[in-house]
Amino acid sequence: MSSKTLRLSDAAVAASLLREGKTVAFPTETVFGLGANALSAGSVERIFRAKGRPADNPLIVHLGASQDLPMAVSEVTQVAQDLLAAFSPGPITVVLPKCAEIPDLVTGGLDTVAVRIPSCPIAQQVIQESRRPIAAPSANRSGRPSSTRWQSVLEDLDGRIDAILCKESATIGLESTVVDCTGDVPVLLRPGAITLPDLQRIHPGAKSRCDAVPAELESLPNSPGLRHPHYRPNAKVLLYERADGVELSDAERTQAVFLGLSEVAQAEDCLWTQTYPDLDAYAAHFYEALREADRLGAKVIVLELAPNQGIGAALRDRQLRAAGHK
């Protein structure tokens, strides 16, 4: 691999590099993805190496349109058809039985594969012009916060990937909703912009693995990625329900960053405080704010927990993981 990652401005060039087997980061409507030809085990191997990703954490395969599903899956269940008709292209990933052409490396040896059709026009152009299914995890070093700006992708991966398409897009800011669609009811594996109530409007029986009690977990499909640490900044993350709920010493406060929806009363001598106008803005800027706190050398990041509604359920999930909760 060259020591420097190519900076691209043209999606057509990104697509042709993907066709040649290269690793290319590109924007989507959720977060930046690190793409490679999903049909080539050699190319996919380079994604795992660049990210330092555990081999048992499977990748999402990205397609340009639902007519391309047979490139990745062997069956499109009724549940998947219903959800894709309602929410795709968009921030939803469906887990289905995989087809034989997808290498085991992509799925971590599972007989299912996660597929997503992004709505972002830039991602669409990259994938469609590559004429291949594109495996793409979030474009960050494994365990770090995901990236919503190309500069942040390079902070983690410069010199470790072949190229990056330097365009802005990630408007949602949190990864797609992952839904197991292999059975008769959808099972939510990772919350995202498409919420459990959204799924239940299409399939009233939709369940969430995230809300399941331990006795139920055995009988629900698994999400292998959830075993590993995620979204961790260098600073210690503290969670609080309200801004005034946290007690820091004077010394701690000067090295602290506060992020949330409510004004922080006691924050005048802290490193940085950011109040977002609404939940969408909090979610959209969350990963970049964690990264910015690290750049500032923060020792502590104090997060106001997102309410468990709308995109808040997904943001809350990422906040808990950023703080090291399983």
Residues interacting with ligand TXA, by CB under 6 A?
Answer: 28, 30-31, 33, 57-60, 93, 95, 107, 110, 112-114, 116, 136-138, 175-176, 178, 189-190, 223-225
* Residue 120 or 267 with smaller CB distance to ligand TXA: 120
Q: State the nearest-atom distance from the C-beta of 228 to ligand TXA, in Å.
A: 9
User: Within 10 Å of residue 206's Cβ, how many Cβ atoms?
Assistant: 19
Q: State the nearest-atom distance from the C-beta of 137 to Mg ion, in Å.
A: 5
Peptide bond before 70: cis, by omega within 30 degrees of 0?
no
Q: Which of Mg ion, ligand TXA, none does residue 223 bind to, with CB < 5 to 8 Å depending on kind?
A: ligand TXA
Place of tokens 């152009």: 125
Q: Could you tell me if 252 and 300 are in contact, meaning their C-beta atoms sit under 8 angstroms apart? A: yes
Q: From edge to edge, which strands make up the β-sheet containing 300-304?
A: 236-240, 300-304, 256-260, 272-275
Helix (H, G, I), strand (E, B) or coil at 143: coil
Opening angle at CA 87, ends 81 and 92, nearest 5: 90
Q: Which residues are registered as beta bridge partners of 187?
A: 180, 207
Q: Which of Mg ion, ligand TXA, none does residue 124 bind to, with CB < 5 to 8 Å depending on kind?
A: none
Phi first, then psi: give them for residue 115, nearest 5 degrees: -130, 145
Q: State the nearest-atom distance from the C-beta of 179 to Mg ion, in Å.
A: 17
* Residue 5 or 107 with smaller CB distance to ligand TXA: 107
* Residue 115 or 261 with smaller CB distance to ligand TXA: 115
* Residue 16 or 119 with smaller CB distance to ligand TXA: 119
Identify which range of 81-89, 123-131, 136-144, 306-314 contacts Mg ion by CB under 5 A. Answer: 136-144
Q: Could you tell me if 129 and 216 are in contact, meaning their C-beta atoms sit under 8 angstroms apart? A: no
CA distance 107 to 72: 11
Among 57, 138, 148, 169, interactor with Mg ion by CB under 5 A: 138
* Residue 33 or 89 with smaller CB distance to ligand TXA: 33
Which residues bind to Mg ion, rule: CB under 5 A? 138
